[in-house]
Structure 1
């Protein structure tokens, strides 16, 4: 599909808008046209080729979603590179560990992602953006506008792009980091074949139409929509602005996370066409509200980093489910399911990840979700088995951040999720810290400021001091009991 997209951008209405954004006065502006996006990808491919990057090399990408990020991924695909997606909000310690695992030959970062010190330090912290010092990253080049303190810009010229390099369907295409610990981060590896299968599944499910407008900002939205000849509008961040954007564009397809949907509805948004939501639980009540606000259909999509997408259900089907658990729908074509003896849901299919970086291939994905399977094969979730907190549609893995809390005056510390009021399936992230006997609470709280700041977008919503509950013969932290304790403390 990436090959088809690259061809379609240049040959199918190249003068039409490809990506739309919000103008300074609140209107809609064209960020890039279809032919311009194809040209930009060619220039990036030529620049990366000139840097000596070829098939099998790893390119780190720390660029905010938008035309530049998409053009970089198209360029990487053309050259046969594998792209390691680096999240600037993960915090410098976690990012340094991830970079040590992926070992990119070059990191492309925009100015915002590099804003960690000097003039941009306060701005970066407010935006939850933080990369390690540039010296820790290895070779770095700035993509787009360069600001003081940033690495040198990627030398982009008008030279001819190299011929496409195809290392085969089973070569690595992308690395996306997920769980693990700071000492042992974990990364999902998708091959070119697996990535193509996932994109085909999205296309068949959504069926974007030429000349229509699609609202959404993820890779799995941009590629199928643009390949079909649709224009993609990047969602506004503020709820009122998003509501105005929906009113102006009347998009045929809209992709928003459940928290974004709730915020938009709270701002009086009206919807059109079909609305899709995922990355966090979306109950039937939320989908009904979306349809009451004008949508023809409202779909919940069950997806994982390891397999996107896996299942989908429309509001009518979800509302008809009266049994226990959360119905997430029937497996999409090609997706197969299984259950472990403990009831953990297993998934596999053409779009499943090939392996975790540094590990052997395994076709079955352990979802970390407890589930049951209806007689007709539909998936009903019954809670999580993973130690994962889901806050505002972002997965936060405690093991990545808990080690930073273990200061000399800390006996034990855990990060747990507490249900967020008024948002089913959403959680608040709470740090429960058990001080060592005799520790001064004031001094300890002050000492924790540094580690908390370095968590970036995973900074806890609250920090509580108290005893961490233990369980079992091994006396491990009892996370369920800790979460219950934190919920009681916060409600009090």
Structure 2
């Protein structure tokens, strides 16, 4: 699909490709399809002129937008492997990751480089930190330079170099690990393409109608389908105005973005998709009530993107134990290991972890099962709570807490001082709903939870963490312990 997208771009095509939003939410064209053609061709020529060949690794630290997209497409065209660098990881972690990936060249925009230079004090306050990139590997600036930035790598003139038509690694995405042992997912050209095709078939983009979403997995399938992509505006109020002006055929936002948008009065059009963090039935129902024709929860991992999907009505109708995350997507296989952990495999599964042997099955870290192609989760393996002689997996019971008036809820274990744990529900009300109303709504669901019934309920905002703003269970447990 990436190759198909590159081949479909024409220099004289004036149709909008990547959209942004002005302060009032009014759409602005950041790049046409012709602009993308020129940038992909120019960056491919520039990287080729630097002597980079298929199989070489480049590090990329460029903010989402037309330049980051076209740099990634140019690298794919040449058969290069892209190591994605995250400025929020901290300098020590990034040093370890760069030492593992060993890029021949680092491509960074001026903002990423400024984090390590004159803007370091500001960056630390914003929880951003990069080491001195130029000291680790030859570094070039993508886009506008600022004082102190590395030399620019402008798009080069001339024809596009011949593309790589073989197999090989495509992208390295760091997911976890420590400074002593970073962990990175390696997708090949084949697995990346397979994942893109699954997204395309799930979203079904129609030509010339905008899609709202900012991830690479939204940009490529949408553009390949002929649809322009609007990068979500920052801030819920601006996002609401942007969506109202766009009327997108499809929207992809994370659960925290959806909750903030709903609180700001968002009205949806077309189909809405959400993932990267748990998506509960109540949230999807509220999205449909706010105008969406369909509201989908997408179950995906960095290693297997996407794996399963469920529409709001099917999720609401599920009455079994655990969290229904949907039907396996075509070609994705699932089984459960001896410890009850869900394993996944398929053409879109990562080839290996960097520095490790290839694998067929990916360990998800989730307690779960697949029955007749439907995946039901019981929570993270590491989140298990031990109370008395009972093993309690929060994910089996948390869906029962998501009643009307509850925006987010988690079950956490709090040390009881005798080696045992207390089970506490931390429940976040929907804006405008009182704590008393939430406790009243939870009375019957709590009675039905049997051995997993919480010892206490704390009504408070659920702490979030990470880029995808998932519930921070450790912080929630600390909150519960203080309450």
Call closer, same or farther: CA 1:290–1:9 in 2, change over 3 Å. same
Call closer, same or farther: CA 1:117–1:351 in 2, change over 3 Å. closer
* The 10-residue stretch of structure 1 (149-158 or 53-62) with the greater mean CA deviation from structure 2: 149-158
Alignment partner, residue 413 of structure 2: none
Alignment map for 1:372-391 (pairs within 5 Å): 372-374=369-371, 376-386=372-382
Call closer, same or farther: CA 1:286–1:355 in 2, change over 3 Å. same
CA drift of 1:175 comes to 0.6
Alignment partner, residue 302 of structure 1: 299
Alignment partner, residue 411 of structure 1: none
SS at match of 1:421: strand
1:338 to 335, 338, 358: 335
SS at match of 1:289: helix
Q: Contact 2:25–2:239 at 8 Å: present in 1 too?
A: no
Q: Contact 1:91–1:457 at 8 Å: present in 2 too?
A: no
Cα deviation code 1:7-52 (max 9, x no counterpart): 21218x8110000001255421100000111110110111111111
CA drift of 1:98 comes to 0.5
Alignment partner, residue 108 of structure 2: 109
Q: Distance in 1 between matches of 2:208 and 2:270?
A: 14
CA drift of 1:461 comes to 12
- Whether 2:220 is the aligned partner of 1:223: answer yes
Cα deviation code 1:298-335 (max 9, x no counterpart): 00000000010000000000000112211001110000
CA drift of 1:295 comes to 0.3
* The 10-residue stretch of structure 1 (151-160 or 176-185) with the greater mean CA deviation from structure 2: 151-160
**Normalization by structure 2: what TM-score?**
0.81
- Whether 2:62 is the aligned partner of 1:63: answer yes
Alignment partner, residue 170 of structure 2: 173
Alignment partner, residue 266 of structure 2: 269
SS at match of 1:154: coil
Alignment map for 1:309-458 (pairs within 5 Å): 309-374=306-371, 376-386=372-382, 421-422=428-429, 428=463
CA drift of 1:386 comes to 4.3
CA drift of 1:460 comes to 13
Q: Contact 1:189–1:354 at 8 Å: present in 2 too?
A: yes
Q: Distance in 2 between matches of 1:458 and 1:315?
A: 21
Cα deviation code 1:383-439 (max 9, x no counterpart): 102479xxxxxxxxxxxxxxxxxxxxxxxxxxxxx9673489x96369xxxxxxxxx
Alignment partner, residue 276 of structure 2: 279
Q: Distance in 2 between matches of 1:29 and 1:317?
A: 37
Q: Contact 1:57–1:105 at 8 Å: present in 2 too?
A: yes
Call closer, same or farther: CA 1:256–1:272 in 2, change over 3 Å. same
Q: Distance in 1 between matches of 2:263 and 2:117?
A: 38
Alignment partner, residue 4 of structure 1: 4
CA drift of 1:373 comes to 2.8
1:199 to 179, 196, 200: 196
Q: Contact 1:276–1:299 at 8 Å: present in 2 too?
A: yes
Q: Distance in 2 between matches of 1:288 and 1:457?
A: 24
Call closer, same or farther: CA 1:275–1:327 in 2, change over 3 Å. same
SS at match of 2:463: strand
Q: Contact 1:115–1:130 at 8 Å: present in 2 too?
A: no
Call closer, same or farther: CA 1:420–1:33 in 2, change over 3 Å. farther
Q: Contact 1:129–1:457 at 8 Å: present in 2 too?
A: no
1:486 to 461, 478, 482: 478
Call closer, same or farther: CA 1:459–1:8 in 2, change over 3 Å. closer
Structure 2: stretches of 5+ with no match in the other structure: 385-424, 431-458
Q: Contact 1:370–1:384 at 8 Å: present in 2 too?
A: yes
Q: Contact 2:59–2:82 at 8 Å: present in 1 too?
A: yes
Structure 1: stretches of 5+ with no match in the other structure: 389-417, 431-455, 463-479
Q: Contact 1:419–1:428 at 8 Å: present in 2 too?
A: no
Q: Distance in 2 between matches of 1:155 and 1:32?
A: 16
Q: Contact 2:61–2:112 at 8 Å: present in 1 too?
A: yes
Root-mean-square deviation (CA, aligned residues, Å) is 2.7
CA drift of 1:128 comes to 3.1
Alignment partner, residue 234 of structure 1: 231
**Normalization by structure 1: what TM-score?**
0.80
CA drift of 1:242 comes to 0.3
Alignment partner, residue 77 of structure 1: 76
Alignment map for 1:155-166 (pairs within 5 Å): 155-166=154-165
Q: Distance in 1 between matches of 2:468 and 2:285?
A: 31
Q: Contact 1:277–1:300 at 8 Å: present in 2 too?
A: yes
Q: Contact 1:279–1:302 at 8 Å: present in 2 too?
A: yes
Q: Distance in 2 between matches of 1:460 and 1:42?
A: 38
Call closer, same or farther: CA 1:484–1:230 in 2, change over 3 Å. closer
Q: Distance in 2 between matches of 1:107 and 1:218?
A: 21
- Ranked by relative contact order (alpha carbons within 8 Å, sequence separation 6 or more), the top structure is 1
- Whether 2:251 is the aligned partner of 1:254: answer yes
Q: Distance in 2 between matches of 1:192 and 1:213?
A: 27
Q: Contact 2:54–2:80 at 8 Å: present in 1 too?
A: yes
Q: Distance in 1 between matches of 2:211 and 2:476?
A: 41
